């Protein structure tokens, strides 16, 4: 993470690191090599699916004049969610003492249907930085301490976790990358707060995208798609900065800075 300026492969955050924020217990994490600054996706622990079954997720999208209006209840439309609360799993709770339980929470977004690039990129905020078409908000790649949230925090096997009661993703779950455009390019999986869409993991020719293929903000432009972001398996996973002008407010239920007990944005 950086607060100085945008950089490829980094999160340009509006907020600096806070080592005193709540979060996972670093000494108990076994899947991160802190010396080499790498982590193993295959050995990380994830909250499994169980009996937890909240209400059905909702996602509505309408176009009004030049605005794209999106409303969600911030629960997965496809119903795929872990067995929250995690306090029922002692081993996971020792690693990440997150008592949160996802509940329905109304989020509304109004984006321009024709977003434009700003004169210069801007930093990424805390709270909701966008929304997926699965009805769940996107938070940036950092936890409350400013570290890699995907690597450090326990999320469920479907890619999300709650900050208090607000469920969210720090990356795009692979199952959401389910539509392909001509040529194998991924379809739109959501929208970022500057109005630009975020597509799945594959670019032209169906090639999986990496940071090297993208600009400082984790996006690029080509063909008729114009400017857009891409999901990647590499940090910062969704966006590194806002290429356009971010909306100032997106909901009546944005997680508070630091994410409360969870310590996630």
Give the per-residue pLDDT at 248.
Answer: 56
Predicted confidence (pLDDT) per residue in 57-115, tens digit: 999 999 999 999 999 999 999 999 999 999 999 999 999 999 999 999 999 999 999 99
Q: Specify if 184 maps to a domain.
A: yes
Q: Which two tokens stand for residue 10?
A: 């980094």
Predicted confidence (pLDDT) per residue in 122-146, tens digit: 999 888 999 999 999 999 999 989 9
CA-nearest of 189, 226, 234, 192 to 209 is 234
Q: Specify if 47 maps to a domain.
A: yes
For the cut 80, the answer to whether the pLDDT of residue 222 exceeds it is yes
Q: How far apart are CA 264 and CA 76, in angstroms?
A: 19
In terms of C-beta density within 10 A (0-12 exposed, 13-18 middle, 19 or more buried), how is residue 144 classed? buried
For the cut 70, the answer to whether the pLDDT of residue 249 exceeds it is no
Q: How far apart are CA 191 and CA 196, in angstroms?
A: 6
Q: Specify if 263 maps to a domain.
A: no
Q: Total domain count for the chain?
A: 1
Q: Specify if 19 maps to a domain.
A: no
Please give the average per-residue pLDDT across 228-240, as a whole number: 97
- Per-residue confidence band for 223, with pLDDT thresholds at 50, 70 and 90: confident
Whole-number mean pLDDT of the chain? 91
Tokens 């937890």, residue?
52
In terms of C-beta density within 10 A (0-12 exposed, 13-18 middle, 19 or more buried), how is residue 94 classed? exposed
Bond preceding residue 236 cis, omega within 30 of 0: yes
Q: 40: domain range?
A: 26-244
- In DSSP notation, 1-36 reads -BSSS--TTS-BBSS---TTS----GGG--SEETTT
CA distances from 36 to 1, 27, 249 (A): 16, 16, 38
Q: Specify if 11 maps to a domain.
A: no
Q: Specify if 143 maps to a domain.
A: yes
State phi, psi for 211 to the nearest 5 degrees. -55, -35
For the cut 80, the answer to whether the pLDDT of residue 1 exceeds it is no
Q: How far apart are CA 121 and CA 239, in angstroms?
A: 11
For the cut 70, the answer to whether the pLDDT of residue 250 exceeds it is no
Tokens 């997150």, residue?
98
CA-nearest of 187, 132, 181, 184 to 158 is 132
Q: Is the pTM of this model over 0.85?
A: yes
Please give the average per-residue pLDDT across 153-167, as a whole number: 96
Q: How many CA atoms lie within 13 A of 210 on its CB side?
A: 2
Q: Specify if 256 maps to a domain.
A: no
In terms of C-beta density within 10 A (0-12 exposed, 13-18 middle, 19 or more buried), how is residue 181 classed? middle
Q: Specify if 33 maps to a domain.
A: yes
- Per-residue confidence band for 259, with pLDDT thresholds at 50, 70 and 90: very low
CA-nearest of 259, 261, 262 to 15 is 259
Q: How far apart are CA 33 and CA 84, in angstroms?
A: 28
Helices (H) and strands (E) in the chain, counts: 2, 15
């Amino acid at each position: 993470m950086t607060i100085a300026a945008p950089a490829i492969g980094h999160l340009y955050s509006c907020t600096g690191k806070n080592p005193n924020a709540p979060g996972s217990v670093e000494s108990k994490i076994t899947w991160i090599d802190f010396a080499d600054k790498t982590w193993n996706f295959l050995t990380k622990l994830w909250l499994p699916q169980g009996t937890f079954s909240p209400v059905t997720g909702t996602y509505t999208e309408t176009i009004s004049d030049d605005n794209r209006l999106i409303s969600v209840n911030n629960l997965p439309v496809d119903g795929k969610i872990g067995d929250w609360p995690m306090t029922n799993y002692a081993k996971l709770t020792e690693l990440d003492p997150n008592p949160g339980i996802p509940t329905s929470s109304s989020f509304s977004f109004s984006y321009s249907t024709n977003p434009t690039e700003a004169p210069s990129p801007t930093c990424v905020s805390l709270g909701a930085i966008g929304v997926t078409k699965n009805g769940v908000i996107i938070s940036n790649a950092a936890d409350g301490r400013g570290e890699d949230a995907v690597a450090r925090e326990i999320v469920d096997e479907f890619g999300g976790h709650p900050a208090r009661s607000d469920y969210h993703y720090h990356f795009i779950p692979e199952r959401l990358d389910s539509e392909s455009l001509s040529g194998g390019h991924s379809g739109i999986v959501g929208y970022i707060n500057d109005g630009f869409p975020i597509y799945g993991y594959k670019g032209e020719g169906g090639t999986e995208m990496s940071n090297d293929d993208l600009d400082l903000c984790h996006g690029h432009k080509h063909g008729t798609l114009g400017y857009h972001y891409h999901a990647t398996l590499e940090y910062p996973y969704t966006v590194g900065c806002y290429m356009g002008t971010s909306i100032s407010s997106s909901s009546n239920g944005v997680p508070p800075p630091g994410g409360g007990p969870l310590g996630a944005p």
